Each structure stands twice: as C-alpha cells, then as structure tokens.
Structure 1
C-alpha cells in the first residue's frame, strides 16, 4: 500500500519524495509508515507557493484496503528566492476523513514529519529563514500545544502576553 503510493509520487515529475519510513508495527498510535513529499520547485520567480504533504496508510484504508485520502497533512508555504526566506501559511490535516488527528500532542507525529521535511528542503535549497504565525481559536492550551510541536523541531516561538492566543515562530538556518 505505502510502496504503491511512493511509486505514484516518484512517477509524477511535479512531485519529489523528501522522507519516507516503512516499518510496520502495532505500536499505535505512533505512525511508522509514511511518505513526505513536495511540489516545490526552486523557480526564479519573485514569489512562489508550494506544499509538503504527508501520507500514511495508518487509519486511512477503507474496507477494501484502498486509501481514503491522498495525504493527511499539508504544510503550505510561500518562498522568496531573493530574500532566501520561507513563510509557512498553512499547517493542517485532512484527519477527519482518515480518522487521524493532526497535532503531535495526540502522538501521531505527522506535523513533526512535515516540519522536519520543510527544514531539510530549506537547507538543501539555501534558504536562511523560516517563519510564520500561529493562532488558536480554541484557547490558550491549544496555542501551547502547537508551540510545543514547533519547539520540538527547533523553532523559536514568541507570544504576546497582551494577546495570549497568537504567536510568531521562526527558524534560522545556518549557511
């Protein structure tokens, strides 16, 4: 199942595999089978948008063992090749369809996979910074959990005590 998905991605000239893991296990809810891939191309235009997708067969198969969705997590970003910067605009999941929840605090790890793939892609292509804004419409606890996911992979998160539901995050890459 995972091998077929990876083969399809590799055959698509618009996509490239960034990371993959195929270690079947019954240690739920930790995901040990996934592929992270992107539609990023370092074109020489002023502004670009690309995504990193994470697919796993875990909790994503129908009764006939066919995937329900093509990917569970999408990290959408804008990049500026002249400023060598990346701005994350969306980090979300299609978890409702595949019964997977997005955040790492539910121990699935897809957000971490997507963020680590973004950092690796940025390094490989000579970007200097990654930044974004995080907000929580559900409450302060969710902002803390989201911040924890970001900090686990090395992002710095700053919040404003006057507005505890919004934060900015950044990641500096050394040359």
Structure 2
C-alpha cells in the first residue's frame, strides 16, 4: 500500500515530497514507521494557500488492502510575501475541521512530522515569521496543540479560554 501511494505522489507534478520513511511495521509498535510528508507548495506559484500532508499505511488499510484516508495529517497554510510571513490555521468546528491530525490518527507523531516539514519549508523560503490561529472546542485537543507548538518554540497565547481560541507565532532570525 505504501509503495502505491508513494508512486502516485511521485507522479503528481503538483506535489513535492518533503520527507519519507519506509521501515517495516512491527506489530507491537504504536508509531508509524512508514510515512510520506508532501506538499503542494511551489515558491513561484500565484496561489497563496497550500497544504502539507502526511500519509501512512499504519492503521489506515481496510480488509481489502485499500487506504481508508489519502492522508492522516494535514497542515493548511497561506503565504504573504509582502509581509514576509506564512500563516497557519488550525480550526476545529462542528461543521468542518482542519486539524493537524485526524482523530483516528492521534498520538502517532504525524502532526509533528507535518509541523517540522513546514518549518523547514519556511526556512528554505526565507520567511521571517510564522503566525497562526488555533481554535478547538475540545480542551484536550487544545492542550495537545499547545504542547506541539510550544515544543517547536512557538509563542502561544490563549486569547479566549472559554471558546478555546489562541494565537501562535515564531520569528526566524535573518
């Protein structure tokens, strides 16, 4: 399954592989050891909104051998060259969600893979600042998001504790 998905991503001219790991899956292991981190970001693109996605076959294959999801973690971001920044949005609402990790794929390190790849991409693009908005109706997920961003040295400011809304920012030294 991993080989098929990898081949499909490699064929897609709109995608770029940022990192990849292809280690056998031990049955007792709780973390994904096969994954692909890829993006639709192109520095010279006229588009301003992009994604970084993480795919793993770990706990993602049905009884017929098909993937249940095309990706298990996705980070959405916008670029603003005039202000020399990239903007992340991590929102959870009852009607739609854009998370760093789908509920079924929590605690596997996939969100951290996406965030790490994003920060590398921002450095290569010579972006001066990353900022973002965080929104979560679930206090446990909000705490996880806060932990992940603080782990990567983002400044985290809760703006509305009742609604689970916060802001993140990280500046890069020139």
TM-score normalised to the size of structure 2? 0.84
Q: How does 1:150-169 map to 2 (within 5 A)?
A: 150-160=149-159, 165-169=164-168
Question: How big is each residue's C-alpha offset from its partner over 1:59-111, in whole Å with a ceiling of 9 and x where there is no partner?
Answer: 11111212122111111111012222110124526746xxx334xxxx21111
1:48 equivalent in structure 2: 48
**Match of 1:82, SS?**
coil
Matched, 1:173 2:167: no
Once the two structures are superposed, residues 118-174 of structure 1 have per-residue CA deviations (whole angstroms, 9 ceiling, x without a partner) of 0011111111111111122123x4322210011122222122477572221112222
The answer to whether the aligner puts 1:101 opposite 2:105 as a matched pair is yes
Cα distance change of structure 1 residues 131 and 93 upon mapping to structure 2, 3 Å threshold: closer
Instruction: Determine helix, strand or coil for the equivalent of 1:116.
Output: helix
> What displacement does 1:21 show?
1.3
2:71 and 2:161 mapped to 1: Cα distance? 37
Q: Which runs of 5+ in 1 are unaligned?
A: none
| RMSD of aligned alpha carbons | 2.2
TM-score for both structures, normalised by structure 1: 0.84
* Most deviating of 83-92 and 52-61: 83-92
Match of 1:127 in 2: 127
- Matched ranges for 1:54-69 at <5 A: 54-69=54-69
**Contact 1:42 / 1:81 at 8 angstroms: preserved in 2?**
no
Counterpart for residue 29 of structure 2: 28
